[in-house]
């Protein structure tokens, strides 16, 4: 399969916005960057869960999400290196 044959379902936050939710307060959490490409500044990318019972991704994510509790605009926060921030908090 070539790259041109691949299709991705894109998550559109415009639907969420129409329901009255503020994009400044909304996060997308997904394991595929292409799904959130229309709302990149709202996205946190995690690794895919493949059934490993020792997978700690969601525990790391839970720790990171605490950062957003009192944030006015989640879109202004750089989220690409979120795991580095979590690990830095434990050092």
Widest Cα–Cα separation across the chain:
45
Q: How many domains does the chain have?
A: 1
Q: Which whole number is the average pLDDT over 9-18?
A: 91
Q: Give the Cβ contact number of residue 31 at 10 Å.
A: 12
Structure tokens at 79: 């989220």
d(C-alpha 86, C-alpha 74), whole Å: 17
Give the pTM: 0.82
The pLDDT tens digits for 21-58 are: 999 999 999 999 899 999 999 999 999 999 999 999 99
Q: What is the CATH number of the domain that holds 62?
A: 3.40.50.1000
Domain that holds residue 22: 3-90
End-to-end CA distance of the chain: 43
């Amino acid at each position: 399969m070539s790259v041109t044959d691949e299709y991705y379902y894109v998550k559109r936050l415009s639907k969420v916005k129409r329901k009255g939710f503020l994009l400044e307060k909304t996060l997308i959490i997904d394991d595929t960057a292409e799904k959130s490409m229309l709302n990149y500044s709202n996205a946190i990318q995690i690794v895919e869960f493949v059934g490993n019972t020792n997978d700690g991704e969601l525990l790391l994510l839970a720790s990171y999400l605490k950062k957003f509790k009192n944030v006015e605009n989640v879109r202004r926060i750089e989220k690409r290196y979120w795991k580095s921030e979590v690990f830095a908090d434990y050092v």
